[in-house]
Amino acid sequence: MIRVAIDAMGGDFGPAPIVAGVVEALKTAKFKPILVGKKDDIVPLLPIHLQSAIEIIDTDDVISMHDHATDVFKRKQSSIYLATELVREKKADAVVSAGHSGATMSLATLRIGRIEGISRPAIATLMPTVDGGKSLVLDVGANVDCKPEHLYQFGVMGLAYARDIMKIKKVKVGLLTNGEEEGKGNEVTKEAALLLKKLPEFIGNVEGNNIFDGSVHVVVCDGFVGNIVLKTSEGVADTIGKFMKSHIKKSAFASFGSVFMRKVFSNLKQQIDYAEYGGAPLLGVNGAAIVSHGKSNSKAIKNAIFQAIKFVESDVNSHIKTSLLGK
């Protein structure tokens, strides 16, 4: 049975939504949850019939969003440190955290370790596309400065993830630049494009709109650009939702018509809601690490756990290694 270590104290709202997400996940998936955090805060949130099925590792220390990412290495009894160590020691198969993302990334990279051939692990996130599918964007925050070879490695990792996890047979990999014409971009992306041409799946440069139009499955960029893309996309989606609510409230006819559009609104929300994806995998580490949003609700945690299980069940890490090293 797959064992998932969960940082029960990570996130903006304490252990309640995290524990609730674990409980929801157990209703439909078979796995061994290991909750790491304050036992006195966790136990009252657990249904009595599940308490024997869930392992709890008790600790009082929590890395907050105000702490520096490197502080975690001095605080070896913190919840995220202990959760990550379980994967390093092979006592868990995956780690999920909605806590300090920098601390989670640092621990996963340095304690769990990197896949042979990978210089920089990358955070990958799913974006909705107009054809009802998803595109994978990486990196979205782990590496703000990249060399061409790092972007090439992101392409290899994204390709493996798209095949093994997203189950896309004919993957298209693109490099995000300021124009789709060959030769566009800065010096780093121009050199990266030459390296990415080694991949038969590479279709060349892509622009921001291509992330959502279904023309590309894997979009490669550095973490500086990727994080701006991610935050801008979240902001635009949220703003459009607020615009729609505001205009509907101003009109009686619109309010009446919205009753018949509930299903449409529900489907739209499902496509753009981060909770539907759960979290972002940190690709390139020699294990499974899922970085969840600090504002994650129980649904997001549940889906992050499902994502971790799917990652462990796949052979994505060995395929990444084979692609880079040929072994």
Per-residue pLDDT at 258: 62
Determine the pLDDT at residue 106.
Answer: 92
pLDDT of 275 above 70? no
> What pTM value is reported for the model?
0.88
pLDDT range class, residue 289, cuts 50, 70, 90 = very high
DSSP letter assigned to residue 60: -
Give pLDDT tens digits for 205-236: 999 999 999 999 999 999 999 999 988 887 87
Average pLDDT, the chain: 89
User: Does residue 255 surpass a pLDDT of 80?
Assistant: no
Range of weakest confidence among 13-17, 140-144, 251-255: 251-255
The packing angle between helices 252-259 and 223-250, to 10°, is 110
Q: Where are the domains of the chain?
A: 1-118+284-314
Q: Which of 5, 51, 7 is nearest to 31 (CA)?
A: 5
Sign of CA dihedral 74, 78, 80, 83: positive
With a cut of 70, say whether residue 279 has pLDDT above it. Answer: yes
Q: Look up the CATH number of domain 1-118+284-314.
A: 3.40.718.10
Higher pLDDT, 39 or 255: 39
The owner of tokens 């955070």 is 123
Whether 39 has a pLDDT exceeding 60, the answer reads yes
Q: Identify the bridge partners of residue 122 per DSSP, sorted by sequence position.
A: 283
